[in-house]
A and B are shown apart, each in its own frame.
Chain A
């Protein structure tokens, strides 16, 4: 063995990923080499300190709150030509992106993990392409924001939503709900639409409202080719109430 242990070996020694032979060589070296032992102990202290830190750091609440107040109180301005203030953008995007993250993370659930959860729903198409991403436990997605609306939509109303498949959140009240209910709502929309239809679509908005009097979840999706898709699903049995595409 050369003068001192390589960095890679020291890492593997701490993380317990050495092979038996490596382990033996490392142990033998550490018996006689104070410098490597010191390095190892130094790294070990740092490793333990890092592992004691919380995974999550919450974004500052005052910013989100201030901006959401502004969003609620301000103009709808889905297509405001001038650049909105920075925090406005942050809050709007975080809300929308939480929905997107939720949308992507939901895929494996819908494609096969939990058939019992939708036994009474219309059958969705099978696994979309066989390579569903793993459901990561993203701490950033512990809450998903979706919108509550008192509007009773009809086909024309859904068509109106198509014009706003961009990221702008609704100017109406928004409501943070637990991931699970957001998940269920999105599940429902995806079930109603059928998997293949939403393959490449990114969720832009998820709205709790009614469709011609029926309690419904409305998903607004944007497809990468620039088109949009709006799907209304009945809240009770996830049947497709209506869908419009641009």
Chain B
């Protein structure tokens, strides 16, 4: 729960709030969980919704947010392993992830970090499976750009003789 919230929100404080909200909801609604979906799906949905609530709240208070935010940006928490290079790379990824629009970010987190199936993500986010897949691609592309993975504009076209131009 906390890991999803941390990556959705980018700030520890917000992630703790979301975690708290999510657990409160779990407690309140524990009786409503009937096993029609997997428990993890249900828990993910509650977590993601708690994150969206906080994002909405923050969007409504842009000034407050500007004041308190510059001290702590993305702190991905103490990493479990400590291979220095890997960790540094990880932090860059985490930071870049915060630049991905939130709807895409949610799909990225669930699919590529938590390895959930398209269908399950569709259930969690209440969107069609096709939308999951298209958001996943757009999210990955956005993340790749944020990480500076984009190749230069002069890149070689495959091994084709005619470069692809716009249009069919």
Q: Residues on A close to B: CB < 8 A?
A: 2-3, 6-8, 10-12, 14, 17, 30-39, 41-47, 49-60, 63, 86-87, 89-90, 93-94, 96-97, 100-101, 104-105, 107, 129, 131-134, 136, 138-140, 167, 200, 202, 223-224
Sampled A-B contacts (17; CB under 8 Å): A8-B130, A34-B164, A43-B144, A46-B108, A46-B143, A49-B89, A55-B114, A59-B2, A60-B16, A100-B23, A101-B26, A104-B33, A104-B39, A131-B34, A167-B27, A223-B31, A224-B30
Mostly helix, strand, loop or mixed at chain B's interface?
A: helix
Q: Residues on B close to A: CB < 8 A?
A: 1-3, 6-7, 12, 15-17, 19-20, 23-24, 26-27, 30-40, 42-43, 76-81, 86, 89-90, 93-94, 97, 108, 112-115, 118, 130, 133-141, 143-145, 147, 149-151, 155-160, 162-164, 166-168
* Chain A residues whose CB sits within 8 angstroms of the CB of B80 once the complex forms: 54, 56
Contact assessment for B151 and A89 in the assembled complex, using a CB-CB cutoff below 8 Å: no
Residue of B nearest to A141 (CB): B1
**CA of A207 to CA of B115 in the docked complex: distance in angstroms?**
35
Q: How many A-B residue pairs have CB under 8 A?
A: 195
Residue of B nearest to A92 (CB): B20
Contact assessment for A42 and B39 in the assembled complex, using a CB-CB cutoff below 8 Å: no
Pick from B26, B30, B36: contact of A131, CB under 8 Å: B36
Contact assessment for B158 and A7 in the assembled complex, using a CB-CB cutoff below 8 Å: no
* Chain A residues whose CB sits within 8 angstroms of the CB of B79 once the complex forms: 54
Contact assessment for A101 and B158 in the assembled complex, using a CB-CB cutoff below 8 Å: no
Nearest CB in chain A: distance from B85 CB, A: 11
Given contacts A47-B140, A56-B80, contact A41 B151 (CB under 8 A): yes
* Chain B residues whose CB sits within 8 angstroms of the CB of A200 once the complex forms: 30-31
Nearest CB in chain B: distance from A245 CB, A: 16
